[in-house]
Amino acid sequence: MGNNNGRALTPVAKLKNVMASESVQEQFKNAMNEKKDLFIASLIDLYASDTYLQNCEPNQVVMEALKAATLNLPINKSLGFAYIVPYKKSGKQIPQFQMGYKGMIQLAMRTGQYSVINADVVYEGEYQGFEKLTGKLDISGDKKSDKVVGYFAHIETVNGFKKTMYMTVEDMQKHGKKYSKSYDKDFSPWKTEFDGMAKKTMLRALLGKYGIMTVEMADGLAKDENDNEADYTNYANSEIIDVEPPKNIDMKTGEVTDPEDQQEEEPPVPPETKQEELPGFAQ
């Protein structure tokens, strides 16, 4: 991309050149308004601190960051709202926007229709069972240790609707092994941040089946392309409440449909720090 006094530009310098483009500046201004400069600064800091991301084409990184900007989600790794994750495909590093579970909560809260949105771990001793008919989860037991035995997601709307999903650790592990090629790799987010991946899986399943459809939420799920890490499957002999096969959104009709074909990417290079369809419903 040219040189500077005979020297090749550094990756960060190349990114800054892309960001200096008038059209790029205009797109971020339209997405972020007065927050544009702060977001761009955070993008440059992210790129400068992530050697994996520097192996990606700067213009591709910028386009993925724009997806987070249009959703007004910060890309600071430590916050856990959204990430730009490099994926290795055909020998090249390809950046990809990935929403964290905190980002999903943020988009859901913006609808103004939820009184409670929660996803968390269940410790040994807390789980007391669930009612299959009502889908009510009982985690009222006393915590006996720091051992995690399961994960749940729970929503309550302002009109009184409530729904909970639960999955055991063992079934979450089966899920990860089945759908993530990188599950057994040391760099996999399923290795480095299993709880965060589990919470995201539960939230996306719950919001995907029972959540309230908004344009922003549909856009957020459509932009969150890392479906290999967020599929939802019924396991034959498991205690899973209402966890169904993967769901996609028909952006024209808002209808939730099963994908006809699911392509798996090669294993991702994870962030260096911690991570973490929507039909309307009748009460």
pLDDT digits (tens, 9 = 90+) for 228-238: 443 332 222 22
**For range 111-118, the mean pLDDT:** 93
> In 3-state terms, what secondary structure has residue 141?
coil
- Same domain, residue pair 39 and 164: no
Please state the pTM of the whole predicted model: 0.68
**For range 132-150, the mean pLDDT:** 93
- Same domain, residue pair 164 and 235: yes
Is position 220 within any domain?
A: yes
The answer to whether the CB of 73 falls within 8 A of the CB of 82 is yes
User: If you average pLDDT over every residue of the chain, what do you get?
Assistant: 78
- Same domain, residue pair 64 and 108: no
Q: How many domains does the chain have?
A: 2
**For range 73-86, the mean pLDDT:** 88
Residue 267 predicted with pLDDT over 60: no
- Same domain, residue pair 59 and 163: no
Q: What is the per-residue pLDDT for 3?
A: 54
- Same domain, residue pair 184 and 56: no
- Same domain, residue pair 11 and 150: no
Residue 240 predicted with pLDDT over 50: no
**Long-range contact list for 143-146, CB < 8 A, 24+ apart?**
none
Is position 142 within any domain?
A: yes
Compute the distance between CA of residue 130 and CA of residue 221 in angstroms, rounded to an integer.
Answer: 29
In the numeric block, the tokens 């309307």 are attached to 280
Is position 280 within any domain?
A: no
Q: What is the per-residue pLDDT for 4?
A: 54
Residue 188 predicted with pLDDT over 70: no
Is position 278 within any domain?
A: no
In the structure, what pLDDT confidence band is assigned to residue 135 with cuts at 50, 70 and 90? confident
- Same domain, residue pair 107 and 200: yes
Q: Which helix (H) or strand (E) holds 213?
A: none
- Same domain, residue pair 184 and 198: yes
Q: What is the per-residue pLDDT for 219?
A: 85
Is position 91 within any domain?
A: yes
Lowest mean pLDDT among 9-23, 50-64, 215-229, 253-267: 253-267
Domain coverage including residue 162: 101-257
Q: How far is CA 116 from CA 5, 109, 141, 150, 210, in A?
A: 58, 9, 21, 20, 14
Q: Look at residues 99, 116, 132 and tell me which one is the last residue of a structural domain.
A: 99
Is position 238 within any domain?
A: yes
Compute the distance between CA of residue 65 and CA of residue 51 in angstroms, rounded to an integer.
Answer: 16
- Same domain, residue pair 161 and 81: no
> In 3-state terms, what secondary structure has residue 223?
helix
